[in-house]
Chains A and B, each alone.
Chain A
């Protein structure tokens, strides 16, 4: 049933974004907020607002019981989780539905399935989507490992079955290496995790992070093309583009079609993103994981397709069929988003939760600024440092870079330190201009002092 009263279980810029989308659909909005967020922009914009607990997120935005009870008490018939917090919690999705409300996202079963790396990889393989080449499950002996590695190719990663978060990973350059490292990895895994099992995966040295936006209605899914998000610091994206100009047209079509196959195979409902690693040297892409929510960088896709993803996810989760067919999704030009975080890029990105002074925002055709600031707003220190996203749309990539550069010059946020200087420097960088970067590019670039040099003009 179509949602009439939407509870927004999130904060910051995405809460503002959801309120705007709901309002255009004629849906009444109820904004959740913590005690530290009573004066945030989304509270001012929403039709109603409900305090759900104290400042720490675990006592408010992350408390399933409190959020569901508040939504129910407010008479909501739908709950939008945004991104982060409880957006990918199957327990939350289940609790919302058990309370008789619509969850704006996929089913709890789908969240669990796609949130588990092994299950997601199996679902991908079953749908014919390529995954990073490697062993099929656990490898027990060194001879078996060498045999598999000869098929997969070197360099190859040896990963502990019980490991995680980068722990228990070794890279072998050749079979001699592998024979030496595999027993060590086995012994180490046994000592660290009580399980000596390991598996093998091809090591991709300078991969690009490319992802595909999809929306499904539970039966049918469409893609909204790809995004390029390789500029990352500490595994956080800082600059995102739509599309990925490093792909040729045939690869792009294959990539986007694979995402639709996987989304349809799991009867996906809502907005989702399939993340891939792309190996430019082989011109091959591999599915790595799926995010079962709207993403921070969704606006670049909206800019190039002219399609409102947040409205569509609210509609399909309310039971409507997809409003478009694949051939109606048309892409034009190129878009770039930069994330403005309240951090000092010249002080190791130290958070800077200041009070917003005078705001001068860039305006004009092809410029969008998604944010939650107003003059006099004190940014609370308890949550994420993202304060805004500057997005531009150009006729091609070079034009988009020129526009982001110009828009950044017109942006002024007094009272805060932000990552704007980083983006100004990136927009003038030669490697960025020639699209010659990968996921391991930005951190060495920062360590080499490129940002400070750009600042001093040296």
Chain B
């Protein structure tokens, strides 16, 4: 079991655009380097990538909500 952490503080998004599906859903396979979400920091969008592989379990941060640097945004198993 591992967690994906936000590299920067900002606003977290699960989806690449408001109308799109979330990057990952429960049960999806996750490889190292897969994009899990976006963090908007000072009007710049940064992709949050997984540094572990596994099976996607859940998002731990809410969509469009503030996150801190180092805060877990997703759980893998």
Contact = CB atoms under 8 A, between A and B. Distances in A.
A381 B10 CA distance: 5
B42 A383 contact: yes
A381 B64 contact: no
B66 A36 contact: yes
Chain B interface size, under 10 / 10 to 19 / 20 to 34 / 35 or more = 10 to 19
A363 interface: no
Contacts, number: 37
Given A342-B42, A353-B41, A56 B64 contact: yes
The CB with the most chain A CB atoms within 10 A, among B42, B44, B46, is that of B42
B42 A353 contact: yes
Q: Is the interface of A mostly helix, strand, loop or mixed?
A: loop
B44 A353 contact: no
B11 interface: yes
A382 B66 contact: yes
A55 interface: yes
Interface residues of A, number: 13
Contact of B9 (A353, A383, A385): A353
Contacts of A362: none
Interface in B21-58: 41-44, 46
Contacts of B41: 351, 353, 381
Contacts of A384: 42-43
A350 interface: yes
B44 A382 contact: no
Nearest to A54: B66
Contacts of A342: 42
B61 interface: no
B27 to A, nearest CB: 30
Contacts of B10: 353, 381-382
Interface string B1-28: 0000000111100000000000000000
Contacts of B66: 36, 55-56, 382
A61 B17 CA distance: 22
A55 B9 CA distance: 12
B16 to A, nearest CB: 18
Interface of A: 36, 55-56, 342-343, 350-351, 353, 381-385
Interface of B: 8-11, 41-44, 46, 64, 66
Given A36-B66, A55-B11, A56-B11, 5 more contacts: A353-B9, A381-B8, A381-B41, A382-B11, A383-B43
17 contacts: A36-B66, A55-B66, A56-B64, A343-B42, A350-B44, A353-B8, A353-B42, A381-B9, A381-B11, A381-B42, A382-B42, A383-B42, A383-B43, A384-B43, A385-B42, A385-B43, A385-B44
